Structure 1
Amino acid sequence: MSNPVVVVNELQRAGLFAFSSTAVEEVDEFCRSWLAHDFEVSSKLQGVRELALISAAEFSLAPAFLDPLAVRPPYEVSRDDATIALLKSDTNMIIPVHLKGDPDQGLESLVSRNDISVFSADIAKLQLLAPGWWEEVNHDHDRVWECIEDLQYAHRTCPWIPARMVAASPLLKIQGLLWLLRLTISRNERYEGEVPGVVSTFIARYRSLGGGGEEG
């Protein structure tokens, strides 16, 4: 596919992720296979493409969670990350699952709280920390940052050392950016114009990523 991937361009420009060409090619092959199977999905494929690569980016964070103070941005997104995203993620409108359910529905109607993160434990924690967070996010996307701060605090005050190490890294904040990008793409057909602002606002808010979890 020839269209640029806005999310890839912006996340790489910000120095947060490095997407391999094979990761993008894997997602493009998935899109081509479904376009050949059913041309009616063509109008949805760009959004599917962007969201699949966001999921791949979130999966690529797994090694950093194992050693959060040593593995730093830019995080490398591999072909394997893209394949796992396409096979196992519920956050990117996999064509035969989501869109075939009701092709007349818009993307927004397909997004639930369980679609925000590929790591389900984060959503479960948010449900405990702030039970009404999803309804609030629907009205104010900035609520995502408050959710991340809640998660950050829970990790920082955990007696388990690995959780405190995650809180001392930029990982949870970068996850928050990926969540906000998913919401932006899923709920705005003209998301291409908004994605750069979402990323630049994140950089302005957390411009010292290496400072880890103690930032506001």
Structure 2
Amino acid sequence: MNHNGIFSLSFPEAKTIIVSGDIHGNFNQLVFKLCIQYQLTDTLLIVAGDCGFGFEKKEYYEQIVRRNAKRMNQANNWIVFVRGNHDNPAYFDGAMLNFKRFVAVPDYSILQVCNHTILCVGGAISIDRIYRINEWNRNKYRVHSNESQENDISRNLYWQNEVPVYDPNKMNAIPTSFLIDTVVTHIPHLHIVNYSPKTTLANGL
């Protein structure tokens, strides 16, 4: 749902919020821990970046959703993914991966859950980017040999548009519709300033 160009989701049935991060593609394990090991129900789990999107084909992630849909439905749980630096930003447009129980949200998305209004801001800078670029240059032809063509969601190890994006228009629009009390982000704390209706992010972004 959009309010003044701001992507927002509401979870009226959720009774618990959990924030995780850096799962690096361990989606099945995450669902197992959430629904089976800890037997959580009516829970929204927010993955605060480095989810692992982009290292496999899109169909792989759709298969993950199908494989875990029954378990998530039975437990009445949801997982929202926020963009990290080890994620392909193309997946985080609110449409590419948008299912009933699994959603990859755009930067500056709003989550309304458990009497909280949460601002989600993605991105960060990879300290291992040189290694990842070099590794990709060595392997990209083999990886793409079975793919018809390269595009925005083709497999990769690094994405140049990983960095956080400061959007003053969205920052000005958000307070007109929402009163933020929580920020979930993958950005290191040294780059964060206290949120107010007029400012949030960032020195050096």
Higher strand share: 2
Q: TM-score with structure 2 length normalisation?
A: 0.25
Instruction: Name the one with the larger helix percent.
Output: 1
Give the structure-1-normalised TM-score: 0.24
